Chains A and B, each alone.
Chain A
Amino acid sequence: MTAFTNRTLDVNGVETVVQIAGEGEPLLFLHGAGTITGFDSLLPLAERFRLIVPHHPGFGLSGDDPTVSRIEDLARHYLDVLDLLGVREVSLIGHSMGGWLASTLAIDSTDRIRRLVLAAPLGLRVPEHPTTDLFTIPNEELLEHLAADPSIFEGKVPDPPTPEFLAHSFRETTSAARLLWERPYDPRLPRWLHRLTMPTLLLWGDADRLIPVEQIDVWADLVPGAERRILPGVGHLLFDESAEAVAAAGDFVGEELTV
């Protein structure tokens, strides 16, 4: 299978690492609030697309950017990243916090986003089915909240956690806190989701303990014509847990191309 090549971009002074694999139409993947499992599970997508997986500022291999304070900051950061990569139109997959980010980016740049996949996206306040507060989950219970299948962490999460692993995790949680500490949603997001007129797929695992699958209905009501796909028995890290999730995202993005 294809492997990632890492490129390092200077995005307004923030060292931004972008993992790239494959050839073809560009497909940008925006990750959630952590990078501990890596992105190799996405590599099947590189067989059909030019897969672009940047690490957000303050996450993974990218440098810190303490000036980030709103999701819009990251959305504009990625408009700069696309410009630097010479990519004009792109399809977009956003997972979890990256789903909120992808929605925000697409709301402001409808003409650049061809097709959109929102996988267990964060960003809405759904009082009947609230998102679990990431910050109050004790460390020892975090993994069981993240995935229905704990085997995905084997070889990736040291047990017991080393100080270095905890520091890595603290750094990413700090970067997430810059965006999510006050509230893990944007009360104004529903006001603008009607702008997502590009073909959009909502993808969710029904064993998601972080963002309940019931939230998919709220998204479907707000995003015009969005398709839904629910994966049984799959938790929040759906692309790590389920090859079917990866294939579903790839099929949706590739649909138009094969017609």
Chain B
Amino acid sequence: MPSVFDDIQFYLFNHHHYIDVPENADEYESVWVDLPNALFDPERGHELYQRFARELRLAEALGFDAIALNEHHSTHYSLMPATSVRAAYMVAQTERIKLMVAGVPVNLSWPSRVAEEYAMLDVMSGGRMEFGFPLGTGMEYWSNAAQLNPATSRARFREGLEVIKQAWTLPGPTRYDGEHFNYRYLNPIPRPLQKPHPKMYIVGSGSEETVALAVEFGTGYSIVFVPIRQQLKAFADFRRMSEEAGREVRPEDIVITNIVYVADTDADAVREAKPHIESFFSWFHRVPPRYLLPPGYVSTEEFLRRAQSTALAEGTKATWDDMVAIGRIACGSPDTVADLLSHWAEDAGTSRLLVTLSIGDMPEWKAVKNMTLFAEEVIPRIRARGSRAAEAEPVAAGARS
């Protein structure tokens, strides 16, 4: 079995938060769906788009393997309700780095249109794209047309994926007759540049149903922010079910997301990062249960499980220790962070690490410092664990001192 470190790749994941937390933050029950959009100042929005573009260009300069972007609606958590638009801008701003769009919830668009937009990006970028396909958070079903029924979202998602895969892999025009979608002439032009198609991941939150979908469609599996224990269970399910389906799961088929902050010492890192990571949970992640779980979005059994879990019910009141215990938060010196990420990668059997280095209300200087230290001090330490790297060059640890 190949070491996960032989082809370890680092994806810089930038949420594009609208970083300003209002002074009267306590008065808002939700930062999603019904947050008054008067709080969004377009001039400030412009500055932030410019800032995050600087960070993403820096990612290429620093040697990250990929940029990851995702989509959310009606929230200060994300300024990318049209993530393909942002990806197109970044394609033009970069030359080498891969871009993962993870992505347009297929249900919020027409699957043919998703197939077309993504193929455009792949052709324009010269084949630098990867795509994650999410069901869409519960919140998206409140913020978008009510014609998208959360009670039938999974069935429609499944058909949408079928349409996209058919559009990308069968010579067109083809016909598709479904329960939710019908195409007389499914015939995307352009077709994607990468063969047979750009790398696809299905993005889930650990439910067996979504894992099964990834197995069935032969995609990778990527997981959003859920406790590590649940992530590992989902990956184990993914491996077991893939094996049963006669398919091997490779290290690049699994993606884990991590919140990381690097400083000279562990104490410095926690001191510098903590307030911003706390704002990520207390403000940007603030969402009441009714928006998180619209009717039919999960089964009644899953609803009951979540309603009984105080950790989830009280998410916004989580302490720092809770956060570190639940999530993949690596805050510390280069050695600490490299050890933790290496351990997580091995545990999950993955060679794809999504790292969020600019988080919550973090100012740009800290984000840039964090990215730079991560690229210069952490990436070499982790790469050095690969068998090929070990042969090629001496361990980079301590190179900075």
Contact = CB atoms under 8 A, between A and B. Distances in A.
Interface of A: 66, 69, 135, 138-139, 163-164, 166-167, 170-171, 173-174, 176-178, 181-183
A183 B145 CA distance: 11
B304 A163 contact: yes
B146 A170 contact: no
Contacts of A135: 294-295
B156 to A, nearest CB: 12
Given A167-B303, A176-B295, 9 more contacts: A66-B151, A163-B307, A166-B303, A166-B304, A170-B300, A173-B295, A174-B296, A177-B149, A182-B149
Contacts of B293: 170
Contacts of A66: 151
A178 B150 CA distance: 9
A66 B209 CA distance: 16
Nearest to A66: B151
Nearest to B146: A182
Nearest to B304: A167
Name the residue among A174, A176, A183 with the largest chain B CB count within 10 angstroms.
A174
A174 B146 contact: no
A171 B147 contact: no
Nearest to B306: A163
Nearest to A172: B295
B147 A170 contact: no
Interface string B294-328: 11100010011001100000000000000000000
22 contacts: A66-B151, A139-B290, A163-B304, A163-B307, A163-B308, A164-B304, A166-B303, A166-B307, A167-B300, A167-B307, A171-B300, A174-B296, A174-B300, A177-B151, A177-B295, A178-B149, A178-B151, A178-B152, A178-B296, A181-B151, A181-B295, A182-B146
A171 B298 CA distance: 10
Interface in B130-176: 146-147, 149-152
A71 B323 CA distance: 45
Which A-B residue pairs are the 5 nearest by beta carbons? A177-B295, A167-B304, A163-B307, A174-B296, A173-B295
B286 to A, nearest CB: 15
Given A139-B290, A163-B308, A177-B294, A170 B303 contact: yes
Nearest to A135: B295
Interface residues of chain A: helix, strand, loop or mixed (majority): helix
Nearest to A173: B295
B307 A174 contact: no
Interface residues of chain B: helix, strand, loop or mixed (majority): helix
A177 B290 CA distance: 14
Contacts of B147: 182
Contacts of B295: 135, 170, 173-174, 176-177, 181
Contacts of B300: 167, 170-171, 174
Interface string B268-297: 000000000000000000000010011110
A23 to B, nearest CB: 37
Name the residue among A139, A177, A182, A183 with the largest chain B CB count within 10 angstroms.
A177
Given A177-B151, A178-B296, A138 B290 contact: yes
Given A164-B304, A167-B300, A183 B152 contact: no
A181 B304 contact: no
Nearest to B34: A136
Contacts of A183: 146
A187 to B, nearest CB: 13
B312 to A, nearest CB: 11
Contacts of B308: 163
Contacts of B294: 135, 177
Nearest to B33: A136
A209 B227 CA distance: 41
Contacts of A69: 152
A177 B150 contact: yes
